Structure 1
Amino acid sequence: LPFLTEAHLEKMGISLMLVPDISKGDVFVLQVFNDPIHGHIELHPLLVRFIDTPQFQRLRHIKQLGGTYLVFPGASHNRFEHSIGVGYLAGCLVQALNERQPELLITKQDVLCVQIAGLCHDLGHGPFSHMFDGMFIPKVRPGEKWKHEMASVQMFDHLVRVNGLEEVMERHGLTLPDDLIFIKEQIAGPLDNSVLNSSWPYKGRPMEKSFLYEIVANKRNGIDVDKWDYFARDCYHLGIQNNFDYQRFLKFARVCEVRGKKHICTRDKEVGNLYDMFHTRNCLHRRAYQHKVGNIIETMITEAFIKADPHIQIQGSSGRIFTISSAIDDMEAYTKLTDHIFELILYSSAPELSEARAILHNIVCRRLYKCVGQTTAETHKLLAWAKDVASSKPSGTDANLTAEDFVVSVIHMDYGMKEKNPINNVHFYCKNDPTKAIKIRKKQVSKLLPERFAEQLIRVYCKKTDDKSLEAAKKYFVQWCMDRNFTKPQARLCNFVTIQTYLVPTAENTLRTVSSDIAVKIRG
């Protein structure tokens, strides 16, 4: 079309007024990325413009699994490749729905916005991913209700502004500011808290396109392309089998109307595969994300960052100086904050960083805090006894142990919706009536499925690693569990205690208390 003159078009019977609409079509070159998980994938040039910015390239230097890489040698992948994968899968799902149901009136602008949201959903992650927003920030800024999703929205705004992408987005047919709002709503949910309780709290798209909000970050049941990518990618790098096939879900996904809103549904026969998806999530948490060594490494890194925080200077906007913890308030400074802060402290020579440097040196020399054991407990009891564990002293031993010698992690794990079964929020359709949405209860599927979908446990570490201290800590922990009718830890031959527990994971967040060495972990 760019080579056709007005005369050529008139001979073909094409009116000149139609040319702008036609020429705005797919006259562009897709860029190919060779991804180890999804193979050769093609991305729209507008997505590439987002990728080729310092704010997005920063994700190359943030480990997807944080400290887990220091336990699993293959887990060296970063937020960068995960984000590209999510952007690609977001496009796959929205285009599959469009091809299967053209009556949904999904536009090219919708597709682009969904892809951009998938691509940019993790822009706000800090050093070592969830360690930063789940452990470090809650300890240094305890009153701060800061989440990486909102940081992603702030970084997205910063990226668009400083790289002048508004004009580029408009050239590709997007409407601003509506499409900017739509992209950010997909990442972090409704942006206006005053309308959260209304029938439709979103502004980027009308209720008729409610299903578009279930692609990147599905708040309704947790089945979204973000999980699809990190299941496949994390399993690949961890060496763990992935039993969920997202390609099969793509084949059966369609939109059905439920009480005035349109939701993404799947075939009734796929209910077992969705339970397998959450089982895969369970396995990843049990074997990797909540690995006791990985958790304590992240605890030690957090301790080092806290000690180093006042002494690290990061230049932000207008030449202002920020620390590790205050960089989240300035996106220019936050752009410079990546995993490199670990090496910056480790290889420093400044006297004021000596304590932080010593902790990180212990990590690289594998002088880690030791796990004394873990036991299960009920949720309502957690706050009542967590501090009791950290502040109690073992009796009947010669070891000199104080509360400061213990790290106590209270871990909540579920299927992503606390005590609820997420499949209860999934709608299905039958082959003979694909327009009618139905629900399938657990008892209709199998009697072997979980009875409970949440579990809590307490995991205790000892900072002192000599045999005498570990033996004393072990004896006290066993007695403490017995006195409270908790599951009794079983002794190991290597002088610590542990219980092999099958765990049910929760959301990928981590909360750490400040008053003592109590660590409350929530990850998913």
Structure 2
Amino acid sequence: MSTTQRAAVIHYLDTCFTHPVRDPLWGHIYLDPAMLPLLYSEPFQQLNRIRQLGPTFLVYPGATHTRLNHSLGVLHMARRLIRTLITHEAAPDLSLEGVKGFLCAALLHDVGHFPYTHSLKELPLKEHEVLTGDIIRRMPLAGILKDTLGIDPVIPARIVDLHLPADTCLEPDDGRNPASSDQEISFFRRLLSSPLDPDKLDYLNRDAYFCGVPYGTQDSDYVLSQVLPHPDAGIGLDEGGISALEHLLFSKYQMYRAVYWHRTVRIATGMIKKGLYLGIRSGALQTDQLYNLDDESFFKLADSCDAPEFGLISAVQSRRLHQTIYEAPFDNTRPQLQELCDLSRRTAMERRLADTLSRCLGKPVSEMHLLIDIPEAISFEVDIPVRTADGWIPYSRARSVFTPQVVRDFTETLRLVRIAVDPRVLPLPETAITALATELQHGVA
């Protein structure tokens, strides 16, 4: 990276971020005043009406922070990260427009996010990163990026949406290519999604803060002091920072165990997902109706649909949640359970279990009164390169307790398969619970 390029980027990062926004986690978050129109735009303000953790407030009442809070935090951490990396001689060639585009991508990375956190996962919908890329390239954000910040909106769109090609101009008719090179876009993509990306550094700290739990708190200053540019991975870690990464990985595990995958949160999420899936399948709801919603408009939509399946969503609003009657470790060696990772097959099994329960109780039980919850597979990423006295080595060869086997054990410990039923069905005789568990695990009643 040339001295002139580096000086221009450092000058921008150090002198242009003068507008303070008070944040309960980081204190002051400073913005480039030219970013304020992005902050005040409707697509970004909608994030203030979407809770970051969806139904988690049912367990942790303080967890009412929003995706707008989080997005400002990601910008804050992204600016600090790029400022650290650019001081190293090995920093790649970065244009000022590219750095601005990366910071705008960090700020806007969630503008296409669905309401109620991940309740809409597995449904036949566009990914929120794709929606984000589309929103960034449309007015009003595209106009603000071009006219106020002087950057091509294609740059942040390509950084966020990995479905967009990193090596092709998306707007050939505008007479120019984006200023950022293909290599620069790829570098920024790796920064925004890595084991030590600004998204994780904010959400683990922020979610722990608002939930009132100590598990996600990170020593962010030390983490950032240990990151280095890497020619292939984008970001690497000095050997002295291994303990910081271990702490982050263990914090992520604890947050999943205590917060993100808390039993009540899982059941509430599953009830919303089931109501939406059944509504889409019956034709009572069209997938296009689920785009560009916040929490309030999402529940208004559900309330306006006169179909029985949406009673599941109303029940979550009123905290009338299904109760867990069975849970066990998810054994991914069982084909029966592997098949249930598919939402349509899981729904079919729920109908079968409802029929089984009807026979056990001698009265009809609706499929809406029974829910199977299987968390998706997750990864504790440990593929970051580590710089030692002898050069770069893979993290798997570094001196860390987070060996591949430990990572697998963490994942297996977290994933539980559950059966939950409407409280109106309770209490259940042990024979009925045993019959449901047997059919779930082995496919036989």
Q: Could you state the TM-score of these two structures normalised by the residue count of structure 1? A: 0.68
Percent of paired sites with the same residue: 21
Q: Distance in 2 between matches of 1:344 and 1:396?
A: 37
- The reply to whether residue 228 of structure 1 matches residue 201 of structure 2 is yes
Q: Distance in 1 between matches of 2:143 and 2:416?
A: 46
2:371 corresponds to which residue?
407
TM-aligned CA distance change 1:36 to 1:367, over 3 Å: same
Does structure 1 retain, via aligned residues, the 8 Å contact 2:37–2:144?
no
The alpha carbon displacement at 1:303 in A equals 4.8
The alpha carbon displacement at 1:302 in A equals 3.8
Amino acid at match of 1:158: R
1:276 corresponds to which residue?
247
The alpha carbon displacement at 1:460 in A equals 0.8
The alpha carbon displacement at 1:149 in A equals 0.6
1:38 corresponds to which residue?
26
Q: Which has the larger radius of gyration?
A: 1
TM-aligned CA distance change 1:39 to 1:466, over 3 Å: same
2:324 corresponds to which residue?
371
The alpha carbon displacement at 1:275 in A equals 2.4
The alpha carbon displacement at 1:29 in A equals 6.9
Give per-residue Cα distances to partners, 1:16-62, cap 9 Å, x unaligned. Answer: xxxxx9xx978867210111111112111232221110111010001
Does structure 1 retain, via aligned residues, the 8 Å contact 2:204–2:217?
no
- The reply to whether residue 65 of structure 1 matches residue 53 of structure 2 is yes
Amino acid at match of 2:113: H
1:191 corresponds to which residue?
164
Q: Distance in 2 between matches of 1:32 and 1:86?
A: 15
2:385 corresponds to which residue?
427
Does structure 2 retain, via aligned residues, the 8 Å contact 1:391–1:402?
no
The alpha carbon displacement at 1:297 in A equals 1.7
Does structure 2 retain, via aligned residues, the 8 Å contact 1:372–1:477?
no
Q: Distance in 2 between matches of 1:154 and 1:365?
A: 34
Q: Distance in 1 between matches of 2:397 and 2:17?
A: 47
Q: Distance in 2 between matches of 1:233 and 1:89?
A: 12
TM-aligned CA distance change 1:413 to 1:276, over 3 Å: farther
Does structure 1 retain, via aligned residues, the 8 Å contact 2:74–2:107?
yes
- The reply to whether residue 52 of structure 1 matches residue 52 of structure 2 is no
Say what the alpha-carbon RMSD is for the aligned residues: 3.8
The alpha carbon displacement at 1:190 in A equals 5.0
Q: Distance in 1 between matches of 2:53 and 2:364?
A: 33
The alpha carbon displacement at 1:356 in A equals 6.3
The alpha carbon displacement at 1:357 in A equals 6.8
Q: Distance in 1 between matches of 2:339 and 2:245?
A: 36
Does structure 1 retain, via aligned residues, the 8 Å contact 2:111–2:135?
yes
1:244 corresponds to which residue?
218
1:256 corresponds to which residue?
230
Structure 2, unaligned stretches of length 5 or more?
Answer: 1-7, 169-177, 341-345
Moved more, 463-472 or 284-293: 463-472
Report the 3-state secondary structure (helix = DSSP H, G, I; strand = E; otherwise coil) of the residue aligned with 1:459: strand
Q: Distance in 2 between matches of 1:72 and 1:269?
A: 35
TM-aligned CA distance change 1:288 to 1:472, over 3 Å: farther
Structure 1, unaligned stretches of length 5 or more?
Answer: 1-20, 196-201, 314-322, 329-333, 417-421, 486-524
The alpha carbon displacement at 1:82 in A equals 0.5
Aligned length: 409
- The reply to whether residue 90 of structure 1 matches residue 46 of structure 2 is no
Q: Distance in 2 between matches of 1:470 and 1:292?
A: 22
Trace 1:256-405 onto structure 2 (pairs within 5 A).
256-257=230-231, 261=232, 263-305=234-276, 325-327=287-289, 334-335=291-292, 337-344=293-300, 353=306, 355=308, 358-376=311-329, 377-378=331-332, 381=335, 382-384=337-339, 387-388=348-349, 390-392=351-353, 393=356, 397-400=360-363, 402=365, 404=367, 405=369
1:154 corresponds to which residue?
134
TM-aligned CA distance change 1:375 to 1:401, over 3 Å: farther
Give per-residue Cα distances to partners, 1:436-490, cap 9 Å, x unaligned. Answer: 32224368323887162543432111125343436554232455578689xxxxx
Does structure 1 retain, via aligned residues, the 8 Å contact 2:327–2:417?
yes
Does structure 2 retain, via aligned residues, the 8 Å contact 1:252–1:266?
yes
Amino acid at match of 1:168: T
Q: Could you state the TM-score of these two structures normalised by the residue count of structure 2? A: 0.79
Report the 3-state secondary structure (helix = DSSP H, G, I; strand = E; otherwise coil) of the residue aligned with 2:148: helix
The alpha carbon displacement at 1:169 in A equals 2.7
Report the 3-state secondary structure (helix = DSSP H, G, I; strand = E; otherwise coil) of the residue aligned with 1:118: helix
Report the 3-state secondary structure (helix = DSSP H, G, I; strand = E; otherwise coil) of the residue aligned with 2:110: coil
TM-aligned CA distance change 1:166 to 1:396, over 3 Å: closer
TM-aligned CA distance change 1:209 to 1:293, over 3 Å: closer
More helix as a share of residues: 2
